[in-house]
A and B are shown apart, each in its own frame.
Chain A
Amino acid sequence: MTLRIPRRGLAQAFALIVILMIDRAVSPQFFNLHLQDGRLFGSVIDVLNRGTPVALLSLGMVLVIATGGIDLSVGAVMAIAGATAASLADTHSLPVVIASALGVGLVCGLWNGILVAILRIQPIVATLILMVAGRGIAQLITEGRIVTFTSPDLVWIGNGAVFGLPMPIVIAIGMLLVTAAVVRGSALGLLIEATGGNARASELSGVGTRAMILSVYVWCGLCASLAGVIAAADIMGADANNAGLWLELDAILAVVIGGTSLFGGRFSLVLAVAGALIIQAMNTGILLSGYPPELNLLVKAVVVLAVLLAQSPRLGDLSRFTARWRRTKP
């Protein structure tokens, strides 16, 4: 397996470094790390740790968007999986808890996938159904309460550490490696990109587009449920109303910042995760700087606009046009 390092990653790497430098400027001890009880602490670790849920969501979302789709339901799936995990945590063993939460995510993904691939409903509409109903289902599981648990096993998923690295980070890195190995280690990634590029043409040339589309939504549901388990483990409880609220938008944003076009056809897993880290580094930076967190949304809006304009096909035309104009000028 060769991990392609795309040239187009330079802009994202540059943006991440600039934001980290700004963070360093507002908070001089930003890069300080210290080890306590076998776990690393520090602002950088915090960025990675807090960025995990969105990073996991974007791992699923980037594949969905690569097929030309979109999944609005990931936040709701997080809430359902978190509710499932939290309500089982104190009565069942950890493998059962995780398996049921992931199973729920798988079923949610399958539902979305069937609507999009088999019933051929537009992705934004198909996933809107679960986005609206999903939070209701999560509340049904928790009976409207915030379900708390004490199971140390599940808490360890949120707060434990392996070789000093917090568990969520380890899980996210693991998922990135697994996804990259499966998708880029075989022709699968290419087939997904073909489906997104032109579904009809790829079907005629023998690509199982239905299977491709179905499986990316299932993968997206699975990633979302994992993010839900981590979010629940982190706060030792499940809040059906607020778990994963608006994270679907952050995940889409991360994918777009990662240079993946919303029209589908090509994608980069690493850059989507980098997009998630850029968003989190921004959030953490605003918190550290002491500016009101209300500024967060405004900064995000400006970043989205900047990224959009940079990616706009029209802007490309414009720069080519001016370059030609400059050449023809004597």
Chain B
Amino acid sequence: MKASTSVAITAFVLVAGFALCALQFPNIASTRVVANLLTDNAFLGIVAAGMTFVIISGGIDLSVGSVIGFTTVFVALAIERWGIPPFAAFALVLVLCALFGAAMGAVIHVFDLPPFIVTLAGMFLARGVSFLLSTESIPISAPIYSAVSDFAIRLPGGGRLTAIAIAMLVILVLCALLLHLTRFGANVYALGGSRAATALMGIPVGPMTIRIYMLSSVLAGLAGIVFSFYTAAGYSLSAVGVELDTIAAVVIGGTLLTGGQGSVIGTFLGVLIQGMIQTYINFDGTLSSWWTKIATGVLLFVFIALQQGLMALARRSSVKPAGAKPVGART
């Protein structure tokens, strides 16, 4: 299966879904709604970009939701209680996130442990530390927060492209460039294809693993900063369960959870599809919020079944040219 096929399918589902929504509620097809879609899902887009790298390399990062929660609390405390200037606080928290991600990557590589359980420990750790910092919601009143929330590029049709939406788009473009055009990106794909073969090729598997988890945690930290702009507060319970939405977005975007295949643009489309479901349910008014979860689950299933089917087709067509009968397909 070509990676472009799955991205094309995701794009088709997004466009078709959007057309169906617009048919029922013409107001959805406005720059206002689309721009809000970008703003509301900005933090999800950023954290999902990092998750894409991790999943393509054959790993998983369950700690991202907790890292977002930790970042919002840390930033709020640093600015409001400890009197650290906002940008210094941002830099400080990103360094902490980088160290945290590097530590998880190092444990995964050095002790040869499954990423699932190591990042699970990371999830408990980050959430535990943010609980210890503060269990109450801390409002942030720094001037930069109101300045940023006031800033927006006005689009024709009344839409407002907000600063955090722009931040997401910029980060996504940078991540796409990093993944698809650099040696680092090529190595990420190689790791997901086969760890052993990658090591034999002379690619430093350990440092790569550390850098990938570092990237994921730093992007989760950035998502946390964006989230703190979005809510103008820090709260230790924020972004609970976001790791699941993120993984769902990445999978819907055509990235294989077995690793080796995927793209940042697909992930972005996956985030938009989830946002679209949410918007449709808000517009409908009679549907309740739990339909979002069910619809996301159904879509997840459809996409996984599609991937599975396409891969089976690809296997069959790769056997044919050899002129042999399909080998008794009992695998």
A residues neighboring B (CB under 8 Å): 70, 119-122, 124-126, 128-137, 139-140, 143-144, 200, 203, 240, 249, 252-253, 256, 262-263, 292, 294-301, 304-305, 308-309, 312-315
Contacts and interface: CB of A to CB of B under 8 A. Distances in A.
B114 interface: yes
What are the nearest 10 A-B pairs in CB distance? A133-B297, A136-B293, A297-B128, A294-B131, A298-B128, A139-B290, A301-B124, A301-B125, A312-B111, A136-B294
B258 A122 contact: yes
Contacts of B304: 121, 125-126, 129
Contacts of B60: 124
Contacts of A128: 244, 247-248, 251, 300
A124 B251 CA distance: 12
B125 A120 contact: no
Contacts of A314: 110-112
Contact of A300 (B110, B128, B289, B293): B128
A262 B117 contact: yes
A297 B300 contact: no
A308 B301 CA distance: 32
Contact of A308 (B117, B129, B257, B330): B117
Interface in B278-297: 288-294, 296-297
B24 interface: no
B208 interface: no
A107 to B, nearest CB: 15
B114 A125 contact: no
22 contacts: A70-B116, A119-B305, A121-B304, A122-B258, A124-B60, A129-B304, A132-B244, A136-B297, A140-B291, A240-B290, A252-B117, A253-B120, A263-B114, A294-B128, A297-B125, A297-B127, A297-B128, A298-B129, A299-B128, A305-B121, A309-B111, A312-B111
B257 A315 contact: no
Contacts of B288: 139, 143-144
A297 B69 CA distance: 14
A133 B111 contact: no
Nearest to A313: B112
Contact of B297 (A129, A252, A294, A313): A129
B132 interface: yes
A3 to B, nearest CB: 28
Interface of B: 60, 107, 110-114, 116-118, 120-125, 127-129, 131-132, 135, 244, 247-248, 251, 257-258, 288-294, 296-298, 300-301, 304-305, 308, 330-331
A308 B127 contact: no
Given A132-B244, A308-B118, A140 B290 contact: yes
Contact of B296 (A133, A137, A298): A133
B39 to A, nearest CB: 23
Contacts of B330: 203
Contact of B124 (A122, A134, A298): A298
A133 B116 contact: no
A120 to B, nearest CB: 7
Contacts of A200: 331
A59 B291 CA distance: 31
A200 B331 CA distance: 8
Given A136-B297, A144-B288, A309-B111, A296 B128 contact: yes
Contacts of B113: 308, 312
Given A263-B114, A297-B125, A304 B120 contact: yes
A125 B305 contact: no
Given A295-B132, A312-B112, A132 B121 contact: no
A312 B117 CA distance: 12
B132 A294 contact: yes
A125 B257 contact: yes
A135 B290 contact: yes
Contacts of B116: 70, 124, 262
Contacts of B258: 122
Contacts of B257: 122, 124-125
Nearest to A204: B330
B293 A135 contact: yes
A132 B248 contact: yes
Nearest to A306: B121
A130 B118 CA distance: 23
Contacts of A298: 124-125, 128-129, 132
A137 B292 CA distance: 10
